[in-house]
Amino acid sequence: MSNKFKRLPGFRDFPPEDLTVRAHVFEAWRRVSRRYGFMEYDGPPLEPLELYVEKSGEEIVAQLYNFQDKGDREVALRPEMTPSLARMLAERSRSLPKPIRWFSVPQLFRYERHQRGRLREHFQWNVDVVGEKGVSADAEVLAIGIDGLRELGLTDQDVRARVSDRRLLSALLGAVGVEEERRPAAFSVIDKMEREGPHKSRQRLSAETGVSSAMAGDVLELLGADLDTVAAHFPERDEVGQEVARLSEYMDILDAMGVGSFVELDLRIVRGLAYYTGIVFELFDRKGELRAICGGGRYDRLLELVGGEAQPAVGFGMGDVVLTDLLGERGLLPNTARSLDFYVVAVGEELRPRALSLAQALRERGRSVSYSLKRQAVGKQFKSAVTEGAREVIVLGPDEVARGVAVVRDMVSGKEREVSLEDLGDDGWRMRES
């Protein structure tokens, strides 16, 4: 490429075909959000660096797209939306009716080497319920995420949700003797288990927590089991039992909502962000070829951390990159071809004014209309009509106009008929025909 003005690495242009796809996804997200009664919000793309330090977890902070502005402020392009949301709510959650149901479609940024499904910039559908600590809120949030995918044509054959609960994980670790302070380290081991494999994970868990290697192995094995099996292992522990009961209720609600076939328990899901406190989940393509499409969970402490009123909260983020890749693989991308209702052809220069006013009249009625911007032979104008995707061409010729009519050609069937110029302006001819 000889263009010296290149895109920054990891950033995308959106020419019309790509923007059509993006808009298709955004529209589905927004439709589903509104269907569940959520209100859209937004915030600044540039935030004080400190908003993310310590609240988001090392993973995000290490990859912040940050710099110093001209006022010597340390700033960062937002890597996630939740802290901004938390700040907004810290200022006003007291005065809002609960539960608060808000969503957003922000563009987020991270500074890291890009690869498939992971760029330096992406758009992310954020959905949050604030002010409700019961599992029905957790369930509703996951259901919206799943519905967002269904809205785009994906089914339970294409995607699945893997859900876990940090409270249950914590209770399990406690049950085998892992101290409270050691549990975050244990979470980290569990989070990496799928990549590192059972042997290494067992060694690391044992080393990080002090429990025996055998015990560590037992715990890790249990993470892949179902709820009943987990419960059966700790009949005497109230804490584990309560957590199991809660997750069980959560699953029942999802079943009742009709999305149960998408959901599986998987205690190996932890999520990297530091602020999650309860149920966490991730959505994946069934084939497991792509990265997570979506991730979220409960974060009951975050509002306090940014100086607001303590409020329970649960939400998720769904990025557009992996999702669009998946839609592409499943042939679910929208048609990006151009289309027009009408193309007006003027036969002879004298009729151009007439063509323009007809086009305007149709546009005022909400029709999409185009015509040649320069003097052109009729054949040329027809070619343009095809290029622009016109469904019908209206031909204004001297003979017909003299008789008060125009020829309307259906570009699919090739059939032509005469319509009076009077009727063309108000669609009366269309009504009579159909």
Partner RNA sequence: GUGGGCGUAGCUCAGGUGGUUAGAGCGCCAGGUUGUGGUCCUGGAGGUCGCGGGUUCGAAUCCCGUCGCUCACCCCA
Which residue lies nearer to RNA by CB, 237 or 352?
Answer: 352
Nearest to 36 by CA among 81, 103, 88, 114: 103
Q: Who's near 104: CB < 8 A, 6+ residues apart? A: 40, 41, 42, 43, 81, 85, 125, 126
Closest CB 355 distance from RNA, rounded Å: 13
Phi-psi region of 427 (alpha: psi -120 to 50; beta: other; left: phi over 0): left
Closest CB 316 distance from RNA, rounded Å: 8
Which residue lies nearer to RNA by CB, 253 or 351?
Answer: 351
Closest CB 284 distance from RNA, rounded Å: 11
Task: Name the β-bridge partners of 107.
Answer: 123
Q: What share of the chain is helix, strand, coil (3-state, %, to 5)?
A: 45, 20, 35
Closest CB 227 distance from RNA, rounded Å: 24
**Interacting residues with RNA (CB under 7 A):** 1-2, 6-7, 9-10, 57, 59-60, 62-63, 79-80, 108, 110, 112-119, 122, 124, 191-192, 195, 271-273, 291-292, 295, 317, 319, 321, 347-349, 375, 377-380, 382-383, 385-387, 393, 395, 397-400, 407, 409, 411-412, 414, 416
Closest CB 321 distance from RNA, rounded Å: 6
Closest CB 32 distance from RNA, rounded Å: 18
Distances (CA, A) of 399 to 342, 356, 372, 374: 21, 18, 20, 22
Query: What amino acid is encoded at 259 in this protein?
Result: V
Which residue lies nearer to RNA by CB, 31 or 116?
Answer: 116
Which residue lies nearer to RNA by CB, 256 or 386?
Answer: 386
Closest CB 304 distance from RNA, rounded Å: 20
Closest CB 430 distance from RNA, rounded Å: 19
DSSP one-letter string for 104-131: E--EEE--S--BTTB-SEEEEEEEEEES
First to last CA, the chain: 52
Which residue lies nearer to RNA by CB, 68 or 387?
Answer: 387
Chain centre distance of CA 352: 46
Residue with tokens 């290029």: 387
Closest CB 347 distance from RNA, rounded Å: 5
Is beta strand 405-410 parallel, antiparallel or unpaired with respect to 390-396?
antiparallel
Which residue lies nearer to RNA by CB, 194 or 228?
Answer: 194
Task: Name the β-bridge partners of 180.
Answer: none
Q: Which stretch of DSSP H or E encloses residue 340?
A: strand 340-346
Query: What amino acid is encoded at 245 in this protein?
Result: A
Which residue lies nearer to RNA by CB, 114 or 233?
Answer: 114
Which residue lies nearer to RNA by CB, 19 or 386?
Answer: 386
What are the backbone dihedrals phi and psi of residue 295, each rounded to the nearest 5 degrees, phi first?
A: -150, 145
Which residue lies nearer to RNA by CB, 63 or 248?
Answer: 63
Cα torsion through 203, 208, 213, 215, rounded to 10:
-130
Q: What is the rounded distance in angstroms from the CA atom of residue 269 to the CA atom of residue 86?
A: 24
